[in-house]
């Protein structure tokens, strides 16, 4: 309640100042007494809030066409929050409801995880088996226009709202992709998105588990996948691959639960907030490892963010898994969703940084894999932002050890032979053909070598 009460106090102060006639009208409009302003003891703050009131009244009076007061206030709140960092924002009542539906694992639209950067909408990741994924939208794409209309000037919530709509309705996205000179137009039909966050398959005697995001179904989905794979293999699975590539994150409690699905002991993650009393730590529960210590490889890339990095960092620090792929996104902050009274939506506010068990803050740095393997031969030219450190207004990396995990000395000899990029004759990637997935194939080689090493040491 501390954060919520502080917010209410700020809102009352903002709406209550009324010395100039414009401010009096503003306070009267919101039904707030002007007496509060007389008690203000911070002259600079008062002057700044008076400035806000002056601008508010000027816009109401002179903008080229009438604007609803609610729209002005909501835009002001959103501007205040988005100016802090890339992940704080305001959600009106509809956007808040949509977010709650999404975290439950079902929502209408295209199946995109997006953020806002430099006035455009950036794709964090397309969700598996959705219109966006099938249409070929990729992580890192910038959405320039929707149905031919530029997204510049739209808030993130407004852009998302425009991308959602009735099932079977058509929409065309204009996107800019790194390495492609001209914008690309991609058309698709909206669907009701039922997110299957966990997919699994047997690759020989190795269990492959793909986790696309962290919703309320993630932990239960992982548990069901492990049981299903064990049953399919007759209990003879030799190891597991956990694929977190292009997983943009989600719920913190699910990141903790999924980490515990592969851990029996030790710290998983800790958070440090502005106020020490709000800091927390989560530890693994004994007997939590569903795989009974079988060799584990985790696949990550630059689209692996937030909760994905919590899981990756915990398993890497504990030496429970070997990470293969490319450096992760680097989002080391925690957002708290704070509902606002009166059905006025909610704010998403960055309230803490999180730290891996060894004390690392990955904010702006990401998780460095133990074995670096790129998905293609293309060299990243870094024309467009692709990680947290490339975004505007990012929070600093603070309070942690700020060190990468030490090099592994327990990897099988084959790890040194794994090429960092596919050979020239490697087939073009096709999501329906696992043998074209270079990172996955190297992960399978690695885990089979880990299985052999474990068997040899047991003998």
pLDDT of 5 reads: 26
The answer to whether residue 339 scores a pLDDT higher than 70 is yes
Residue 31 buriedness (CB in 10 A; 0-12 / 13-18 / 19+): exposed
pLDDT of 43 reads: 81
The answer to whether residue 77 scores a pLDDT higher than 80 is yes
Pairing verdict, β 371-372 and 322-325: parallel
Determine contact, residues 421/374, Cβ cutoff 8 Å: yes
Least confident of 171-180, 237-246, 357-366, 383-392: 383-392
* Prediction pTM value: 0.74
Residue 410 CB neighbour total at 10 angstroms: 10
Q: Mean pLDDT, to the nearest integer, of 143-172?
A: 90
Closest CA to 325 of 181, 225, 437, 449: 437
Q: Mean pLDDT, to the nearest integer, of 354-363?
A: 95
| Cα 261 from Cα 223, distance rounded (Å) | 8
Contacts from 376-384 at CB under 8 Å and sequence distance 24+? 376/421, 376/422, 376/429, 376/438, 377/421, 377/422, 377/424, 377/426, 378/179, 380/178, 381/178, 381/179, 383/178, 383/179, 384/140, 384/142, 384/176, 384/178
Dihedral angle computed from the Cα positions of residues 311, 312, 317 and 322, in that order, rounded to the nearest 10 degrees: 130
Reported in sequence order, the residue ranges of 212-332 that DSSP labels E, i.e. its strands, are: 239-243, 267-273, 280-283, 296-300, 322-325
pLDDT of 163 reads: 92
What positions carry a catalytic annotation? Answer: 306, 317, 331
The answer to whether residue 36 scores a pLDDT higher than 70 is no
The answer to whether residue 271 scores a pLDDT higher than 70 is yes
pLDDT, tens only, 166-224: 888 999 999 999 889 999 999 999 998 777 789 999 999 999 999 999 998 999 999 99
Contacts from 448-453 at CB under 8 Å and sequence distance 24+? 448/204, 448/206, 448/238, 448/239, 449/412, 449/413, 449/414, 449/415, 450/239, 450/295, 450/297, 450/322, 450/411, 450/412, 451/238, 451/239, 451/295, 452/412, 453/412
CA atoms within 13 A on the CB side of 368: 10
Helix, strand, or coil (residue 425): coil
The answer to whether residue 3 scores a pLDDT higher than 70 is no
Tracing tokens 């990897």 back to the chain, one arrives at 411
Q: Of residues 221 and 41, which shows the higher confidence score?
A: 221
Alpha helix (H) ranges present in 246-306? 252-260
Residue 371 CB neighbour total at 10 angstroms: 20
The answer to whether residue 26 scores a pLDDT higher than 60 is no
Alpha helix (H) ranges present in 84-217? 93-103, 131-134, 156-163
Give phi and psi for 241, each to the nearest 5: -115, 125
Which range, 259-263, 379-383, 409-413, has the best average confidence (pLDDT)?
259-263
Complete DSSP assignment for 347-380: EEEEEEEEE-TTS---TTT-PPPSEE--SSSPPP
The answer to whether residue 44 scores a pLDDT higher than 90 is no
Could you tell me if residue 292 is left (phi over 0), alpha (psi between -120 and 50 degrees) or otherwise beta? left
Could you tell me the pLDDT band of residue 422, with boundaries at 50, 70 and 90?
very high
Q: What sign has the CA pseudo-torsion 401, 403, 408, 414?
A: positive
Could you tell me the pLDDT band of residue 459, with boundaries at 50, 70 and 90?
low
| Cα 412 from Cα 455, distance rounded (Å) | 12
| Cα 185 from Cα 104, distance rounded (Å) | 31
Residues belonging to the chain: 459
The answer to whether residue 35 scores a pLDDT higher than 70 is no
The answer to whether residue 10 scores a pLDDT higher than 50 is no
Q: Mean pLDDT, to the nearest integer, of 353-381?
A: 90
| Cα 419 from Cα 377, distance rounded (Å) | 11
Q: Mean pLDDT, to the nearest integer, of 38-65?
A: 85
Residue 186 CB neighbour total at 10 angstroms: 17
Domains of the chain (ranges plus CATH)? 2-67 (no CATH), 106-194 (2.30.42.10), 198-458 (3.90.226.10)
For the chain, the average pLDDT equals: 86
The H helix count followed by the E strand count for the chain is 12, 19
| Cα 113 from Cα 227, distance rounded (Å) | 29
Helix, strand, or coil (residue 225): helix
pLDDT of 105 reads: 64
């Amino acid at each position: 309640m501390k954060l919520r009460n502080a917010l209410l106090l700020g809102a009352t102060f903002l709406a209550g100042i009324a010395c100039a006639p414009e401010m009096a009208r503003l306070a009267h409009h919101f039904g707030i007494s002007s007496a509060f302003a007389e008690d203000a003891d911070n002259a600079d703050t008062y002057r700044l809030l008076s400035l806000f009131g002056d601008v508010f009244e000027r816009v109401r009076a002179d903008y080229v066409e009438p604007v609803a007061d609610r729209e002005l206030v909501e835009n002001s709140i959103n501007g205040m929050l988005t100016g802090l960092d890339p992940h704080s924002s305001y959600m009106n009542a509809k956007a808040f409801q949509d977010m709650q539906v999404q975290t439950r694992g079902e929502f209408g639209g295209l199946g995109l995880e997006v953020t806002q950067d430099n006035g455009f909408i950036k794709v964090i990741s397309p969700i598996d088996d959705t219109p966006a994924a099938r249409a070929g939208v990729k992580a890192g794409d910038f959405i320039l226009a929707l149905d031919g209309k530029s997204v510049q000037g739209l808030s993130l919530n407004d852009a998302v709202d425009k991308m959602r709509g009735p099932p079977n309705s058509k929409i065309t996205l204009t996107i800019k992709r790194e390495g492609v000179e001209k914008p690309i137009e991609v058309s698709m039909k909206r669907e009701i998105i039922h997110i299957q966050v966990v997919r699994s398959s047997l690759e020989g005697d190795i269990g492959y588990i793909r986790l696309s995001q962290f919703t309320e179904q993630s932990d239960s989905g992982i548990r069901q996948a492990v049981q299903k794979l064990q049953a399919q293999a007759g209990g003879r699975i030799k190891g597991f691959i956990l694929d977190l590539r292009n997983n943009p994150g989600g719920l913190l409690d699910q990141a903790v639960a999924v980490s515990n699905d592969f851990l029996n002991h030790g710290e998983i993650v800790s958070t440090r907030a502005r106020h020490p009393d709000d800091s927390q730590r989560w530890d693994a529960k004994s007997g939590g490892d569903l795989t009974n210590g079988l060799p584990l490889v985790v696949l990550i890339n630059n689209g692996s963010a937030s909760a994905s990095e919590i899981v990756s960092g915990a398993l890497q620090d504990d030496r429970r898994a070997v990470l293969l792929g490319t450096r992760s996104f680097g989002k080391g902050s925690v957002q708290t969703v704070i509902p606002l009274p009166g059905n006025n939506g909610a704010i998403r506010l960055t309230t803490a940084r999180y730290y891996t068990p060894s004390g690392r803050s990955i904010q702006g740095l990401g998780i460095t894999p133990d074995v670096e393997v790129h998905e293609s031969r293309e060299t990243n030219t870094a024309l467009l932002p692709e990680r947290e450190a490339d975004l505007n207004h990012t929070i600093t990396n603070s309070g942690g050890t700020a060190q990468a995990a030490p090099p592994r000395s327990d990897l099988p000899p084959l790890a040194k032979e794994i090429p960092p990029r596919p050979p020239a004759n490697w087939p073009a990637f096709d999501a329906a053909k696992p043998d074209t997935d270079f990172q996955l194939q190297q992960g399978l080689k690695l885990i089979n070598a880990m299985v052999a090493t474990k068997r040899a040491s047991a003998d």
